[in-house]
Amino acid sequence: MNARFALSQVRTLKTPALVGLPRVVTRLKRYEAFDAQLDKDALAESRAWFDQFDASQLPKGSTTFARSSGAGGQHVNKTETKAVTAYPLKDLFAILPKALHSALRSSRYYTANNDSLTFHAQTQRSRTLNAEDNGRKLMDEITRIYRENTPSETGEEKKQKYKEVAQRFHNSRLMSKKAHSSKKQSRRGSSEY
């Protein structure tokens, strides 16, 4: 086994996908499963929540309407069909698991002025359809955040593989240490004068 790849390396988890998950330790090793360093309880809570999650649990948010822009002639100039819906984070925190809370503020839809996720829709000529489109966008964004922040569970086959790799690394490390020790021992020579 190549020693360069076997040695553990210190890395910090700074990818946006892992920002919200609590870490047990920050030392990652190449022979560990991906989720070995993540909080198992938080992952289990997130997975259980997502299995039962549906759109009816989402808050309604506050919707305002404005004039649309773009093509449409006199119709878009006179009617207010563009829907702008703001979903306050405090309402979303009530239904989302804690592991996803910090990821909401890093969403591209986050608005710091009112601490909410704000969605705009103006593709339809109907204001109700545009408001419903905002609800779909919220559902898609929450699903995206969940998928980026919660890795799927490591299977038993992979866990066994990482266990075997760890054992091989440990054995090769011991053999290397013993060889180095015997080399140093041979340099000393005999202690008899």
CB–CB of 8/30 below 8 Å? yes
Residue 144: predicted pLDDT = 93
* Residue labelled with tokens 């560990």: 32
* Matching residue, tokens 């305002």: 64
Rg (CA), the chain: 27
pLDDT of residue 184: 87
pLDDT of residue 55: 85
Rounded CA-CA distance 44/125 in Å is 43
DSSP single-letter state for residue 115: T
Q: What value, to the nearest 5°, has the Cα angle with vertex 178 and ends 173 and 180?
A: 95
List the structure tokens of 121.
Answer: 């829709």
How many residues are listed for the chain in this entry? 193
Average pLDDT per block of 10 residues along the chain, 193 residues long: 38 48 48 59 87 88 84 69 92 90 91 93 89 94 89 75 85 91 82 58
Domains and CATH numbers, the chain: 53-149 (3.30.160.20)
Residue type for position 53: F
